[in-house]
């Protein structure tokens, strides 16, 4: 049961967005810029960072919806999403992305856990300043989104079909418009 009277029938974050459109707008815009707009990191890579952080924060709705978006971007490699959640160092992803996920994991614990060594490792594997900046900010932002979704105790369905549909929409259109219609 949500802690406040959120509109019914809208899963996860979309119920919060419908309740409070004024804050929904900048939250959608931030997600859109970070995860969907052009970047030297592919949308799949950025969605995998978001999925990883959300799984570390144990937010079911967020890790499943962003995992679905990552899978949609990757095409067939849905296994990769599970690998990243459970053991990213062995996952079928680039060395650079592994190094960025180390940084993301540190940010998830707290900003001060980000070590110069992890940053140096990421640079050695080709990460640019912009990519490191965006990794830190994606991880930080998901520490916000995860807390918002779970903090309000939003309704989080467990039907995979709902998330597959969301993932397809998010991969195609990004975050500016709802991926679920009431």
How many residues of this chain bind another protein (CB under 8 A)? 36
Q: Which is nearer to another protein, 23 or 128 (CB)?
A: 23
Interacting residues with another protein between 106 and 135 (CB under 8 A):
106-107, 110-112, 114, 116, 133
CB of 112 to another protein, least distance (A): 5
Distance CA 169, CA 173 (A): 6
Are the C-beta atoms of residues 134 and 47 closer than 8 Å to each other? no
Contact call for residue 140 and another protein (CB under 8 A): yes
The DSSP annotation for 17-48 comes to HHH-HHHHHHHHHHHHHHHTS--SS-HHHHHH
**Could you say whether residue 141 binds another protein (CB under 8 A)?**
yes
**Binding string to another protein for residues 76 to 95, with x set by CB under 8 A, is what?**
--------------------
What whole-number distance in Å separates Cα of residue 13 and Cα of residue 66?
12
**Binding span for another protein by CB under 8 A among 39-47, 80-88, 146-154, 156-164:** 146-154
159-166: Cβ within 8 A, 24+ apart = 162/11, 163/64, 163/65, 163/67, 163/68, 164/68, 166/65, 166/68, 166/69
CA 127-130-132 angle, 5° bins = 55
Which x/- pattern over 54-73 shows residues binding another protein (rule: CB under 8 A)?
---xxx--------------
Task: Give the residues lining the site for another protein (CB under 8 A).
Answer: 1, 3-5, 16, 19-20, 23, 57-59, 103, 106-107, 110-112, 114, 116, 133, 136-137, 139-141, 143-153
């Amino acid at each position: 049961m949500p802690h406040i009277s959120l509109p019914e029938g809208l899963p996860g974050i979309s119920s919060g967005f419908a309740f409070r459109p004024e804050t929904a707008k900048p939250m959608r815009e931030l997600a859109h810029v970070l995860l969907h707009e052009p970047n030297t990191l592919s949308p799949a890579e950025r969605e995998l960072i978001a999925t990883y952080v959300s799984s570390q924060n144990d937010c079911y709705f967020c890790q499943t919806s962003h995992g679905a978006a990552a899978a949609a971007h990757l095409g067939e490699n849905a296994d990769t999403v599970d690998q990243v959640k459970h053991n990213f160092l062995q996952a079928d992803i680039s060395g650079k992305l592994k190094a960025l996920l180390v940084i993301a994991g540190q940010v998830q614990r707290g900003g001060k856990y980000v070590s110069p060594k992890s940053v140096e490792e990421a640079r050695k594997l080709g990460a640019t300043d912009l990519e490191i900046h965006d990794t830190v900010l994606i991880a930080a932002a998901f520490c916000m989104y995860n807390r918002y979704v779970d903090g309000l105790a939003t309704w989080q369905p467990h039907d995979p079909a709902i998330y597959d549909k969301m993932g397809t929409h998010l991969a195609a259109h990004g975050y500016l418009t709802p991926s679920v219609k009431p």
